[in-house]
Chain A
Amino acid sequence: MERTTIDLWVGIFVALGFAALLGLAMKVGNLTTSSIGQTYLVTANFENIGGLKPRAPVKSAGVVVGRVSEIVFDPKTYEAVVSLNIDTRYNFPKDTFANIYTAGLLGEQYIGLEAGGDEVSLKNGDKISQTQDAVVLEKLISQFLYSKATESDDKPSTTASTSTESTGDALDASPLDKIGK
């Protein structure tokens, strides 16, 4: 094989490889979309972070403005301390609200920032004081069941008392109602 032909083919080969890597970076990967340049760090304490993980997005109005860099447990307050890297292009007021939301019903969890009205904006190392925990599905379900259970407990006694009042029949009334009278 001619020397220059080999050189040409190897050149094309390597160039194709770089083009493919560039294609992966630009078209497939998130190098362009989520390249967060300069960031500043703020922390937020949560009582329960649910399934939040490091590198989860931080969104405001649905736009990714940063990423979760670290999650540690504070043994003094028994809270989770979440560090957020936020793009320096975006300034948030000091009284910004940090919530943990879930994308879809079973999707990944992310932090949503809701800007407050303070004039002073968050700086590097600041702490977001107003936070809302993740919604834990089990808790929600148990609350729902509990409220249902109390509802169904209430119902029979109220119907019983109304029936005694309307008919005045002592046989229908429970002993407790008699004592009340």
Chain B
Amino acid sequence: MVLHKLKRLFSKLGAGCINKIWRLGAGGRLFWLTLISSGESFRRFRLTIREVYFTGVLSLIIILVSAFFVGMVLALQGYHTLQKYGSSEAIGVLVALALVRELGPVVTALLFAGRAGTAITAEIGLMKATEQLSAMEMMAVSPIARVIAPRFWAGVIAMPVLATLFSMVGILGGYLVAVPLIGVDAGAFWSQMQANVDWEFDILNGVFKSVVFGVACTMIALFEGYDAPPTAEGVSRATTRTVVTSSLAVLGLDFILTSFMIAV
């Protein structure tokens, strides 16, 4: 009896592991197929532009509003701590570095996964459930080239743009709290920021991070949609998995990227 239960437990564990590895491999395969068949999404760039509109432009409101509030909160919290050490002028550096290096790319990616990633998964899952993808294959149109690749490149383009806007608007929010509200000197705010934020090490690394997150988030959303069981329940579960997997992937990748960037 006990042996039987133990056997079931282990086979469950094994099946789970095999399933995870299979999904990773299938995701990698889809990524590769997307890359090699993405010629069309550049030849017919209008396809990609359309998707940039849906993933990027329509995410603009949520990204900008949250950036504004994140910047303001950063300034308030930062001031609270910095003034204990009598260095409240360093608040500009704090806000800018936190946003440009970490919060800009990461929070944008998390919001992007929730706002655009779920939409991509649901759309592709429904396309699959209603057999639109099969219909394309019947007409000798590759659904990967026609549907997946433009969405992928749109996500890769939109993410760094959104992250850069996030950082900029966040800094403006921090400025509004620090200078007019708290009364930090405006000159010190900007000059300390300029003295301590490096173009290459901070800003370009942040943009690079957001490009990586763009690849990861969009690819996970596309794979979950492409892999979803063609039922209503399957699509809804795939949508949930997109958010969970993307968020974990972004946070994990962020640690890896940051450790490489700081180490060099």
A residues near B, CB below 8 A? 1, 3, 6-7, 9-10, 12-14, 16-17, 20-21, 23-25, 27-33, 55
Q: How far, in Å, is A99 (CB) from chain B's closest CB?
A: 20
Known: A12-B57, A20-B165. 8 other contacts (CB 8 A): A6-B53, A9-B53, A13-B52, A13-B53, A13-B57, A29-B203, A30-B198, A55-B198
Within the complex, which residue of B46, B56, B202 is in contact with A29, where a contact is CB–CB below 8 Å? B202
Within the complex, which residue of A12, A20, A27 is in contact with B190, where a contact is CB–CB below 8 Å? A27
Q: How far, in Å, is A69 (CB) from chain B's closest CB?
A: 14
Q: Which residues of A contact B60 (CB under 8 A)?
A: 13
Q: Which residues of A contact B195 (CB under 8 A)?
A: 30, 33
Q: Which residues of A contact B162 (CB under 8 A)?
A: 17
B169-201 vs A, Cβ < 8 Å mask (1 yes, 0 no): 101000000000000000000100111111101
- A28-B49 contact given A13-B60, A20-B165, CB 8 Å threshold: no
Q: Which residues of A contact B197 (CB under 8 A)?
A: 28-30
A107 to B87 Cα, complex, angstroms: 12
Q: How far, in Å, is B120 (CB) from chain A's closest CB?
A: 17
Q: Which residues of B contact A31 (CB under 8 A)?
A: 199
A23 to B170 Cα, complex, angstroms: 12
Within the complex, which residue of B53, B158, B167, B190 is in contact with A24, where a contact is CB–CB below 8 Å? B167
**Interface residues in B, total, Cβ within 8 A:** 33
**Cβ–Cβ contact A6 & B50, under 8 A:** yes
Nearest chain-B residue to A15 (Cβ)?
Answer: B161
Within 8 A of A (CB), among B197-237: 197-199, 201-203, 207
Q: Which residues of A contact B168 (CB under 8 A)?
A: 20, 23-24, 28
B residues near A, CB below 8 A? 46, 49-50, 52-53, 56-57, 60, 96, 100, 157-158, 160-162, 164-165, 167-169, 171, 190, 193-199, 201-203, 207
A165 to B203 Cα, complex, angstroms: 76
**Cβ–Cβ contact B198 & A14, under 8 A:** no
A27 to B194 Cα, complex, angstroms: 7
Q: Which residues of B contact A17 (CB under 8 A)?
A: 160-162, 164-165
Query: By CB atoms of chain B within 10 A, which of A1, A10, A23, A33 has the most?
Result: A10
**Cβ–Cβ contact A24 & B161, under 8 A:** no
Query: By CB atoms of chain B within 10 A, which of A3, A10, A21, A28 has the most?
Result: A28
Q: How far, in Å, is A34 (CB) from chain B's closest CB?
A: 8
Within the complex, which residue of B52, B160, B167, B199 is in contact with A10, where a contact is CB–CB below 8 Å? B52
A24 to B163 Cα, complex, angstroms: 12
**Cβ–Cβ contact A13 & B161, under 8 A:** yes
A83 to B157 Cα, complex, angstroms: 40
A-B contact pairs, 18 of them (CB 8 A): A3-B46, A6-B49, A10-B57, A12-B57, A13-B161, A16-B161, A17-B161, A20-B168, A24-B168, A24-B171, A25-B203, A28-B96, A28-B100, A28-B167, A28-B193, A29-B198, A30-B196, A32-B194
Nearest chain-B residue to A13 (Cβ)?
Answer: B57
A9 to B198 Cα, complex, angstroms: 31
Q: Which residues of A contact B203 (CB under 8 A)?
A: 21, 24-25, 28-29
